[in-house]
Structure 1
Amino acid sequence: MHEDGGRHGRGQYTLADTEHGTVWGTCTAVDGLFEEPWHETYELVDWEPQGAEVRGWISRRVWLVPEDEALGPWLLEDVESLGRHSGSLVLTGSDDYEGPPESYDGLVRAHDEQRWLGSCRAVVRVLPPERTVPRLVLRELTPSNELRAVLAKGTRRALNLEEVALKIRDRQGAPLTERLLWASVGGWRRSRDGRDVIDLELEGTLFAPVPDHARPVWERWLAGAPGTEGAWADLDTRRRGVWLALVRERSGRRARADRPAGHAYVLDGRHATDEPGLYLALGEAVNGPGGYFGGGLDALDDCLRGRFGYTAPATLLWRDAATAREHLSDRLTPEGRPFDLFAEVLDVLARGGMNVTLA
C-alpha cells in the first residue's frame, strides 16, 4: 500500500458514486487529501519590474495583459514568484485553461488587481515533468456491501469505480464540502486489529488535492463551524481565500430560510482589508458566524435575489466602512483599468434592495 507520510485529514468521509449515489464506504481519516496542487510554470522573458521586485507568494489572481487588446487578458491563480533567472521572472500558478498559450512573443504587462507588477517581451510556458497519478488512502474504511462485492470480484473492470465523490463532514457531522475524482481501487488491506474495516487505496484523476498552505484553515473547519464572527480575521489574504471557498462550498450543502423583508443587518468592517475579508464580513452580517453571502460581485448579486438568508428590502449598518474604502477603492480590472470595488459592492447592494448606512 502507498503510505503518505502522515498527511491525515480528520473528519467524517463518505465515498459515493456520483451517477447512482451508491455509497462505497465511510471513514474518519484520509491520506493524500493535502498535497501541493499541480501548477503551471511560466517564464516572463526580459522582465522589467514596475516598482518593487515581486517575491514569494504574490496574489490569489495575477492577470497577464498582452499589448494586442484583441487577445484579452490571461489569468493565473494562486501565483508565486520563483525569482529572477537570466533576466526572466519565473511564476507558478493555476491557469484553468484561461492562461496564456504555451508561448507568446509580444509585450505583456502583469498586475495583481491592486498594482502593476511589471512587463516582459514574451511569455513561455515551461514544460513540466510528467505528472504522478494522485492517490488517496481511506483509513479504516467501513465498506458497504456493494464495495465488498467489488473487492471480491477483483477484476480491473470491477475495481474501476469511475467518478466518485469524497463527501466531507466536520467532526460534528455537519456537511462541509466534497472532492471529485475518477477513481479505481489500487489496493486494499484489512485492519490489523481484526475489525471489519479496511484501508482502501484509490488511484484517481481529475482530483484536486487541498494545498498544504490551506491545511490549517481546513483543520479549523473540520473541527466544527466557528461559533463567533471574525474567526478568520487573523489570517492573511491567501488563507482568507481558502476560508471563503470553504464557506461557499458549505453553504451549498445547508438548507436555510430567508429572513423576512425589513430585517436590519450589521456588518463589522474592521477586518475588511482585502477582497476575501470583505465578503467574509458581509456573509457573517447576513448569515452569522461562518455565513456566506457572495464571494464576488456576480455571486453577491445572486445572493440578493433570495435563497441565501435575505429578502429585499432590508437595511445594513456598515461599521468601520472606512477600512474597506481605504483598501478596496483603488483596484484594477482584468484589462488593467482603474476600478473601485468598494463602490461597486455598494451599488450591487443598493440594486438588490439593501439600504446601506456607512458608519
Structure 2
Amino acid sequence: MGAPKYVLLSYDGEAEFEGEEGYEETWALCQDAEDLFADPPPPLQDVYELLGCAPQGRLSEALTRARAEGSAPLGTLTLQILDKTGAAVGEWHLEEARLLGDRPCAHDLTLRDVTIEGTQPDHNLYDHPQRPPLSPGYRLLGAHGEPQGTCRDLACIREVPDETMEPPLRLLGCSPQGALRTALDAGEEDLGHAKVLRIDTSGRPLQSAAEGELRAWIPSARGPGLVDLTLDLWSERPPFAADKVWQLWSQGRPTEPNRWARCDNEGRQFWLRTALDNHVHGGQDRPPGTTYHLDGRHITDLPGFFCALGEAVNGPGGYFGWGLDALDDCLMGRWGATPPLSLVWHDSEVARRCLGVTSQTLHRPAAFEELLAFLAEGDRIDVHLA
C-alpha cells in the first residue's frame, strides 16, 4: 500500500458546533483523492439598468469614459431608497460595479438609462430594492458617501445563473477500519457523515480537506482489501493551489524559510490558511522591544508579505496574520510577538516595485505605502527599510 495522504474520520456536526473533542473515530486511511480540488468560478455579475438617471460626480465621469472605451469602473455603488418626501429609508449596494453603456431615457430625454454590472454583497437585506409608494426613486452614492446622482428606478436585466453540479469526491485505496469496516461488512447503505483530513508522511493531521456524506464504495484496484469511497460534499472544496501547498508541508511543518515563495498568489493565500491551522497556541510571546528581520526577497504580492512576516515572527511555516485585520488581531497578543516591536524589512525595494498598484475598485490589495502606514499606526511596529 502506498503512503496514505488522507484520513477519513467520523463527523458529528452537533459535537463539532459545541467544540467537543475526542468524538471523532478514524474510519480509513486513503492513498489519494479524485475530484477533491476545485477553484471557485470567476464571479459572474448581475447586469442592471439605472432608469431615468441624472448622473453626477464619478458616475458622470464614468459615462464619458465608457462612451470612449466601452466600459468604465465605478467601484462600490449605493442606492439610497427614498420615500415620497425624498428622505432616505434604506440602502442597497453593488460592489465592483462597472458602467457598460447608456442611452436616452424614453420617458424623459433629459435623463439617461445607464447599464451597469456588479456583485451584491452578503449584507444586502434583499435581492432587489423596493421603492415605497410615490417614491421619486433612488439617490446614488459612492463608496464614501459622495453623491453620484439620482435614478427613478432599477431594473435587473441579467441574473447570475444557479451553480452547476460538482462531481462527488472519490477517496482511492482506502483501508477501512472501526465502525466503517463493520458497516461495509454488514452491507449497510447509510454510511454516515464523514470528514477528510490531509495528513503528512508521519500520519499527523495537516489540515481539513472536506466534509460530506459517505454514499458508496467499491473494491479498489490499488490492492486487496482496499476500497474506493464516494462522498457527496457539502463543504467548500479546497482550491487546486492547496495540492502544491500540502506537498510542501508533506514532511510536516517546514524547517527551512521561504518555501512559500514557490507558490503563486493563490498558493500563498492558501499557505497562510495552512500556517494558521498549524499554529501552536499557548506559547510565550516574546517581550516588547524585540527586533524581527523580514526577508523581503520574495514579497511580490500582499500574501507574500504575510507569509514572510509569519516566518519573521514565528519561524518557517509560521503565522502572524493573513490580512490587515488579522495582523491587528495578532498584535493584541498570544501570537508570538508583543508590541511595540521593531521590524527590519530587508530588500524592501522588491515590495515597493510590486505592491505599487493603483485602485480601480474599493476591494484591492494594499499598496506599499499604505502597508507601511498601517504598520506604523499606534506606534506598535517600528519599520526599518533595508
Q: Distance in 2 between matches of 1:96 and 1:199?
A: 40
Q: Distance in 1 between matches of 2:117 and 2:260?
A: 31
Give the TM-score of the pair, scaled to structure 2. 0.64
Letter in 1 for 2:45: Y
Letter in 1 for 2:290: H
Q: Deviations over 1:70-94 (max 9, x none)?
A: 6475568xxxx9x99xx98888x9x
- The 1:152/1:181 distance shift into structure 2, 3 A limit, reads same
Residue of 66, 69, 75 corresponding to 2:78? 66
Q: Distance in 1 between matches of 2:216 and 2:183?
A: 12
Decide whether the 8 Å contact of 2:4 with 2:29 is kept in 1: no
- 1:138 Cα deviation from its structure 2 partner: 1.4
Decide whether the 8 Å contact of 2:7 with 2:196 is kept in 1: yes
- 1:123 Cα deviation from its structure 2 partner: 6.4
Q: Distance in 2 between matches of 1:23 and 1:110?
A: 53
- The 1:107/1:133 distance shift into structure 2, 3 A limit, reads farther
- 1:146 Cα deviation from its structure 2 partner: 0.9
Decide whether the 8 Å contact of 2:376 with 2:383 is kept in 1: no
Q: Which has the higher strand share?
A: 1
Secondary structure in 1 aligned to 2:215? strand
- The 1:194/1:29 distance shift into structure 2, 3 A limit, reads closer
Q: Distance in 2 between matches of 1:270 and 1:100?
A: 45
- The 1:306/1:270 distance shift into structure 2, 3 A limit, reads same
Q: Which residue of 1 aligns with 2:198?
A: 168
Q: Deviations over 1:123-155 (max 9, x none)?
A: 666342564254111112122221123334545
- The 1:182/1:43 distance shift into structure 2, 3 A limit, reads same
- The 1:234/1:215 distance shift into structure 2, 3 A limit, reads same
Matched, 1:179 2:209: yes
Secondary structure in 1 aligned to 2:309? helix
- The 1:124/1:182 distance shift into structure 2, 3 A limit, reads farther
Residue of 246, 264, 267 corresponding to 2:274? 246
- The 1:216/1:44 distance shift into structure 2, 3 A limit, reads farther
Aligned length: 318
Alignment RMSD (CA, Å): 4.6
Q: Which residue of 1 aligns with 2:312?
A: 285
Q: Distance in 2 between matches of 1:137 and 1:127?
A: 29
Q: Distance in 2 between matches of 1:228 and 1:274?
A: 21
Secondary structure in 2 aligned to 1:13? strand
Q: Deviations over 1:205-226 (max 9, x none)?
A: 2x21123355444443446544
Question: Higher Cα Rg: structure 1 or 2?
Answer: 2
Identity of aligned residues (%): 29
Q: Which residue of 1 aligns with 2:111?
A: none
- The 1:37/1:237 distance shift into structure 2, 3 A limit, reads closer
Q: Which residue of 1 aligns with 2:346?
A: 319
Q: Distance in 2 between matches of 1:128 and 1:349?
A: 46
Q: Distance in 1 between matches of 2:10 and 2:201?
A: 19
Q: Distance in 2 between matches of 1:258 and 1:333?
A: 40
Letter in 1 for 2:271: W
Q: Distance in 1 between matches of 2:39 and 2:349?
A: 37
- 1:188 Cα deviation from its structure 2 partner: 0.8
